[in-house]
Amino acid sequence: MERRKTPKQVHKFLMALAAAASAGCGNSNAVDSETLETEKLWVGVRFEASGNGTTGVNVEINEGGSTGNDVRLSANERLEVNANGMIVVLDEDEDFLDIDYEGNVPTDASNTLFTLSLFRADGSINNRTRVNLPSRFTITSPANNQATMVGDIVDVQWSPAAGSSIAMGITTQCSGIMRADFIDVPDNGSYTINTAALPGLQDPTSPRENGCTLTIDLTRERRGTIDPAFLGGGFVTALQERAIQLPLSF
List CB contacts of 56: < 8 A, sequence separation 6 or more: 47, 48, 49, 102, 103, 104, 105
**Proportion of the chain above pLDDT 90, given as a percent:** 76
Lowest average pLDDT, out of 61-75, 88-102, 202-216, goes to 202-216
Predicted TM-score (pTM) of the model is 0.86
Note whether 231 and 123 are same-domain residues. Answer: yes
- In this prediction, residues 55-84 reach a mean pLDDT of 97
CA atoms within a 13 Å half-sphere pointing along the CA-CB vector of 233:
5
Overall domain count for the chain: 2
Q: State the Cα–Cα distance between residues 154 and 214, nearest whole angstrom.
A: 10
pLDDT of 240 strictly over 50: yes
Tell me the pLDDT band of 1, cut-offs 50, 70 and 90: very low
Note whether 58 and 155 are same-domain residues. Answer: no
CA dihedral 161, 130, 182, 210 (to 10 degrees): -100
Mean pLDDT, the chain, rounded, equals 89
CA dihedral 117, 120, 125, 128 (to 10 degrees): -40
Report the CATH number that the domain containing residue 177 is assigned in CATH.
Answer: 2.60.40
At 11-47, the pLDDT tens digits run 444 444 444 443 445 566 899 999 999 999 999 999 9
- Measured in whole angstroms, how far is the alpha carbon of residue 124 from the centre of its chain? 29
Asked if 62 and 68 touch (Cβ cutoff 8 Å), the reply is yes
Q: Which residue has the higher pLDDT, 138 or 209?
A: 138
Q: In this structure, is the dihedral angle defined by the CA atoms of residues 93, 95, 100 and 102, taken in order, positive or negative?
A: negative
Note whether 92 and 197 are same-domain residues. Answer: no
Note whether 181 and 231 are same-domain residues. Answer: no
Range of the domain at 181: 138-220+244-249
Note whether 118 and 225 are same-domain residues. Answer: yes
Note whether 109 and 145 are same-domain residues. Answer: no
